[in-house]
Amino acid sequence: MRIIIRKVMGHPLLKKAPPVLVDIGASGSLPKQWKLIAPYSICVGFDADTRDFAVSESENGDWKKLYLFNRLISTKSSSEVDFYLTKSPYCSSTLKPDNEALKPWAFSTLFEVDKVVKLPAADLHSVLEKIGITYIDWYKTDSQGTDLRIFDALPKSIIRKIISADFEPGIIDAYMGEDKLHQLMAYMDKQPFWVSHMEVKGSQRIDQDDLQNLNYLKRRFISSFLKTAPGWCEISYINKLSDKEMTCREYLLGWVFATMKGEHGFAIQAAKDGAIKFEEPLFNELHNISQNSLSSASGVFKVAIKASKKVLRILS
């Protein structure tokens, strides 16, 4: 896989305009799946909670170029906005936690506000312009309640050419006036994207008073004793590549990103269409690799079926 990635990334179009990966809410670490393409890519990461984020704007040996900003991203620039620092840095937000609505949930204490600070805010497009970036290829955000509004604030010309977009919207009421999953999905239905992955996550529905009445072990391992209810969702989209303005470069990245996500069926289509539209020989090679990936997956599937049949015979 690394060999073909190196070959694709060595294409003149991608050497001239390297992939740009944006991570809003990069507290903790950048996505592990990006490591494969990091040496050929420009990464821009943002987080406003300095308690768990390395702040730098520099070149990095693992990336072609890496920017890490301790900067709050909002829909528009402002000299200062309220930022709610919560007990868990992963729950800090520009939106006030909805403590009353959170009370019946086991993880509600994570949203307890330690303090409110005033921070300058910038809109994503302006920051990108300042560092000379005019496009985004892979967009990832976990902004704690503002994923949709930040995405929608980007110019439409940038949105429609994004190849992959990952969001983490809420399902329950965790913040005042937050962007919810159903709103995001309704919005994306009108954009040239399709849902490639969806993983629902959550917490346990139990009042804090009742939770505190449990012994330490039950509180510590509450997920083992109580069913987890949906609370938020990790959802990923891939561009359909249907826009007429999509170039050979976007089709190459469409194949790479789809392959990284295990979407070999879509990768085959991207390679087929790319070969027809741009007469680029590399797409024929990419098409064959995707076909082989499906064949390999088929072989694994057959082995699994045989193993299950054997187990059934033993049990019967």
- Segment 127-150, tens digit of pLDDT: 999 999 999 999 999 999 999 999
Mean predicted confidence (pLDDT) in 170-185: 97
Residue 24: Cβ-neighbour burial (10 angstroms; 0-12, 13-18, 19+): buried
User: Residue 169, SS3?
Assistant: coil
Q: What is the Cα–Cα distance from 234 to 33, expressed in whole angstroms?
A: 15
- Confidence class for position 53, pLDDT limits 50, 70, 90: very low
Residue-level pLDDT at 42: 97
Banded model confidence at residue 299, pLDDT cuts 50, 70, 90: very low
Six-digit token string for 199 = 């993983």
Would you say residue 80 has pLDDT above 60? yes
CATH level 2 (architecture), domain 2-240: 3-Layer(aba) Sandwich (3.40)
The predicted model gives 242-264 an average pLDDT of: 96
Across residues 149-176, what is the average pLDDT?
97
Structure token digits, residue 129: 């312009």
Q: Which of left, alpha, beta for 215 (phi over 0: left; psi -120 to 50: alpha)? A: beta
Q: What is the pTM of this model?
A: 0.87
pLDDT value of position 268: 97
The pLDDT value given to residue 306: 58
More confident residue, 121 or 295: 121
Q: Tokens standing for 86?
A: 């919560």
Q: How many alpha carbons lie under 13 Å from residue 231 in its C-beta half-sphere? A: 18
* Predicted local distance difference test score (pLDDT) of residue 284: 96
The mean-pLDDT minimum among 7-21, 207-221, 230-244 falls in: 207-221
What band does 70 get if pLDDT is binned at 50, 70 and 90? confident
Query: Is the pLDDT reported for residue 120 higher than 60?
Result: yes
Greatest CA separation found in the chain?
71
Task: Calculate mean pLDDT across residues 68-97.
Answer: 91
Q: What is the pLDDT of residue 55?
A: 46
In whole angstroms, what is the distance from residue 184 CA to residue 142 CA?
A: 13
3-class SS letters over 110-143: HHCEEEEEEEEEEEHHHHHHHCCCCCCCEEEECC
Q: What is the pLDDT of residue 60?
A: 55
Residue 195's pLDDT is 98
Mean pLDDT calculated for residue range 109-124: 93
Distance from C-alpha of 127 to C-alpha of 291, rounded to nearest angstrom: 40
Residue with the bigger pLDDT between 109 and 226: it is 109
Number of alpha carbons in the 13 Å side-chain half-sphere of residue 130: 10
Lowest mean pLDDT among 119-123, 181-185, 235-239: 119-123
Mean pLDDT of the chain, nearest integer: 88
pLDDT digits 0-9 by tens, 11-31:
999 999 999 999 998 666 788
Q: Give the span between the Cα atoms of 155 and 313, in whole angstroms.
A: 60
